[in-house]
Amino acid sequence: MSIELINISKTYNGSDFILSDISVKIETGEFFAIVGPSGCGKSTLLRMIAGLIPISNGQLKIDDNDVTNLPPQERALTMVFQNYALFPFLNVKDNVAFGLKARKMASSEISTRVDHALELVNLTDFSDRKPGELSGGQRQRVALARAIASDAKICLMDEPLSNLDAQLRNKMRSEIRELQQKLGLTLIYVTHDQIEAMTMADRIMVLNNAKTQQIDSASNIYDTPSNTFVASFFGTPQMNLLALTLKGNNEFSDVEHSLNFSVTNSLKAGNYLVGVRPNSLSIDNNSNKTNAVITNIEYLGTRSIVHAKLDNSMEVRIETSNTETLSVTDRVSVRLTGNHYIFSADGQRLLNTNGGYTDGNSSKKLQLQHSI
Ligand SMILES: Nc1ncnc2c1ncn2[C@@H]1O[C@H](COP(=O)(O)OP(=O)(O)OP(=O)(O)O)[C@@H](O)[C@H]1O
């Protein structure tokens, strides 16, 4: 079943919009993640889709039918909450059966569905236990089993893994993804964790400041972020954003002590933000043309994140597999070796390049000077 959000907004007092003009069509069988920082309105959006809170403006369609004003039970969807919402006094089996009993389903049908759902999440042997006798991951699976037993084709999940430790979260990520594919569910998954969204979802909606920032696949969001918010939110370690002033008539050249930037299109003189991912920079402590000093090294086993201060005072993070020969206070040469992105001063992406500037006729150079 598909879900379509058409210009949906939410306000609690009629003026301050918590969400503004959100539109997207989520296709049947799609795993769709909603991502953004705390308080950006992810849960509010999910709850409006579920019918738990009213939509202030706009329209919601499920399979092309307008459900904007329908109560939750008439929307043919199920929801898994962050706290699992299990009844502590009911055993696993009865927790899973609860919603089905409320729907006055025949007991033989309930039994078949509950057994099937518990089998799918590997909890058959735990069906007589109470939630208090289960681990966090097992409780999470009970909540999943309840969603599966309902047989709804749409499942909404609100940060379902945030109470689990890192290892279990990893495991549950792939279990949820497998189940979603096996059952052909249309799944909307709210998380503030960019890695969770990137590893699980077919498409991701990035929310910030009440607005959609980008809707795209994980790889497009990473490779072509629409603005500096998306660029900084996705990718670990974070993208370096350098405030630069472009001067001259399409002149582009190295500025002494800076990185070597080049662009493929001409840009007007003015202020820009240049984005460089830490793995697009190289670091060398054997060069006699140094331009930076190492201020900190985060050792991560097979790689290190090196923090360096360029001679123009800008600070950059560099990802390197050189984990042995570098030390804090070393003078080094930092060079651009991969893609970079050019954003307007207000953060919208203008260009991303892999080097080689041309203005169409010649290989004139653009002069970049640092604004700070
Ligand atoms: N009943 C309400 N009245 C007024 N404001 C509300 C109400 N409920 C939520 N808000 C506000 O709406 C905004 C969005 O809240 P929401 O819970 O959707 O954010 P979120 O992105 O899910 O955050 P988190 O990741 O922290 O759970 C917040 O600023 C919150 O304070």
What's the pLDDT at 351? 62
- Residues 149-152: contacts with CB under 8 Å, at least 24 apart: 149/96, 149/97, 149/99, 149/100, 149/113, 149/114, 149/116, 149/117, 150/78, 150/99, 150/100, 151/113, 152/76, 152/77, 152/78
Q: Ligand 1, residue 53: give the atom nearest the CA.
A: 1
Residue 7 pLDDT grade (very low, low, confident, very high; cuts 50, 70, 90): very high
303 or 338, higher pLDDT: 303
Ligand 1 atom 4: residue of nearest CA: 12
* Strand ranges inside 105-247, DSSP E: 154-158, 186-191, 203-208, 211-216, 240-247
Ligand 1 atom 27: residue of nearest CA: 38
**How far apart are alpha carbons 281 and 297 in whole angstroms?**
15
What's the pLDDT at 265? 55
What's the pLDDT at 202? 97
Please, what sign has the CA dihedral across residues 319, 324, 326, 328? Answer: positive
Residue 36 has pLDDT above 50, yes or no: yes
Do residues 89 and 110 make contact, with C-beta atoms less than 8 angstroms apart?
no
59 or 371, higher pLDDT: 59
Residue 299 has pLDDT above 50, yes or no: yes
Q: Ligand 1, residue 10: give the atom nearest the CA.
A: 12
Fold of 230-343: OB fold (Dihydrolipoamide Acetyltransferase, E2P) (2.40.50)
Q: pTM of the entire structure? A: 0.87
What's the pLDDT at 313? 83
What type of residue sits at position 236?
A: T
45 C-alpha to ligand 1 centroid (Å): 10
Percent of the chain past pLDDT 90, that is, above it, reads 53
Prediction ipTM score: 0.97
Bridge-partner residues for 241, per DSSP?
A: 275
Map out the domains of the chain as residue ranges: 3-227, 230-343
Tokens of 236: 């670990």
Best residue among 18, 49, 83, 189 to mutate for probing ligand 1, ranked by most atoms within 8 Å of CB = 18
350 or 333, higher pLDDT: 333
SS3 155: strand
Query: What mean pLDDT is reported for the chain?
Result: 85
Do residues 144 and 179 make contact, with C-beta atoms less than 8 angstroms apart?
yes
Of 63-67, 99-103, 156-160, 246-250, the poorest mean pLDDT is in 246-250
What's the pLDDT at 96? 93
Residue 278 has pLDDT above 70, yes or no: yes
Q: Ligand 1, residue 192: give the atom nearest the CA.
A: 25
55 or 175, higher pLDDT: 55
What's the pLDDT at 262? 53
Residue 190 pLDDT grade (very low, low, confident, very high; cuts 50, 70, 90): very high
**How far apart are alpha carbons 97 and 353 in whole angstroms?**
55
69 C-alpha to ligand 1 centroid (Å): 21
Q: What is the pLDDT of residues 232-261, one digit of tens each?
A: 999 999 999 988 777 654 443 344 345 655
CATH of 3-227, one of 3.40.50.261, 3.50.50.60, 3.40.50.300, 3.40.390.10: 3.40.50.300
Closest residue by Cα to residue 372 from 241, 276, 266: 241
42 C-alpha to ligand 1 centroid (Å): 8
44 C-alpha to ligand 1 centroid (Å): 6
What's the pLDDT at 370? 39
41 C-alpha to ligand 1 centroid (Å): 5
- Strands ordered across the beta sheet of 3-11: 17-26, 3-11, 57-62, 65-66
Angle between helices 166-183 and 136-149 (to 10 degrees): 10
Residue 361 has pLDDT above 70, yes or no: no
Best residue among 19, 20, 44 to mutate for probing ligand 1, ranked by most atoms within 8 Å of CB = 44
Do residues 133 and 168 make contact, with C-beta atoms less than 8 angstroms apart?
no
Tell me 255's DSSP state.
P
Tokens of 82: 């962050």
Looking at the chain, how many residues does it have? 372
